[in-house]
Amino acid sequence: MLKVVRLAVRNLTRYGRRTALTGALNVIGVVAVLLFVAVTGSFKTLMVGQITDSYLGSMQVHRRGYVASIDTLPLNLNMAPGMAAKVDEALKAMPEVQAASPRVKFAAMFSNFVETTSIRVNGVDSDREAATEPLLAGRVRNAIREGALLERGEILVPTLLAAGLKVKPGDTVVLVATNREGSVNGKTLVVRGTLESATGPGGRDGYIHIEDARELLRMQLQIAEQHRLRRQRHQRRGEKARREQRRETAFGREHCVQCARLFA
């Protein structure tokens, strides 16, 4: 073994310039590979950070079955109020979660009263959304006022739609949407500002206040109507049970009277 090592050292020292050139090439190759890996890794981290901190968030919680049909934005797979409250409490109990924000996502028609096109709408709580997505405010351009991300009655319009329909901040537009019951509802909003496109699937997403989204979709009325229907069903079941009980009581009395007559 020692003879092999001595032979290798002798060959390396015999041609010093060739050995130095080969070693330098190896070092340059390793440094180039490490530099390429570092640059691509940082670029990937930057892209993921821009998407998560300005559009998606680090984690999303959906009702089971929602992700399978997320392209259609199904309203019938939204979380019920009780389920959403439990998720919010569970997230607040996690020390790893710094902020959480509820959203109402739906498809709508966007119109400037002359032209109409489709848009994906995100109903958000402006304060909680700004804490969850710190880079979202940096995408807003030409805002009509400073302060909160959104106020009630305002909308952030994607730059692509604003340029195509020639909509400027301060203009009045209308959103038309269909709720889960099939009724068509509309709401006029004021354009607060334009929203630059983020890297990823958020190029046609507009933002409105979550209370405006609930009002547009009649979500509060829908929940109250469901509770009311359940109460009516329970009342009907109780009345039906009482009627059957009265019938059984009357039949028993009549049967007892007939038996008494036979034995008499």
Alpha carbon 16 to its chain's center: 64
Residue-level pLDDT at 171: 93
What percent of the chain stands above pLDDT 90?
Answer: 30
54 with 138: CB under 8 angstroms?
A: yes
Q: Distances from the Cα of 208 to the Cαs of 121, 126, 129, 161, 205, in angstroms?
A: 7, 9, 11, 15, 10
- Least Cα distance to 158 among 192, 108, 197 occurs for 197
Q: Distances from the Cα of 84 to the Cαs of 63, 77, 130, 244, in angstroms?
A: 9, 12, 20, 40
- Least Cα distance to 119 among 152, 148, 156 occurs for 156
Please enumerate in sequence order all residues whose Cβ is within 8 A of that of 127, keeping only pairs 6 or more positions apart, or say none.
148, 149
Residue-level pLDDT at 247: 56
Mean pLDDT value of segment 31-46:
93
The answer on pLDDT for 134 being more than 50 is yes
Residue-level pLDDT at 222: 39
53 with 135: CB under 8 angstroms?
A: yes
Interatomic CA distance for residues 31 and 211, integer angstroms = 55
Residue-level pLDDT at 62: 87
- Angle (deg, nearest 10), helices 219-263 and 210-217: 50
Give tens-digit pLDDT for 148-184: 888 999 999 999 889 889 999 999 999 999 988 888 9
Q: What is the pTM of this model?
A: 0.69
Residue 248, judged by CB atoms within 10 A of its CB (0-12, 13-18, 19+), counts as: exposed
Least-confidence region, from 48-62, 74-88, 151-165, 230-244 = 230-244
> Of residues 203 and 79, which shows the higher confidence score?
79
Interatomic CA distance for residues 141 and 187, integer angstroms = 23
Interatomic CA distance for residues 62 and 216, integer angstroms = 21
Least-confidence region, from 197-211, 220-234, 243-257 = 220-234
3-class SS shares of the chain: helix, strand, coil, % to 5? 55, 20, 25
Mean pLDDT value of segment 224-241:
47
Residue-level pLDDT at 254: 43
Per-residue pLDDT band for 245 (boundaries 50, 70, 90) equals low
Residue-level pLDDT at 32: 96
SS3 104: strand
Alpha carbon 51 to its chain's center: 13
Count of residues in the chain: 264
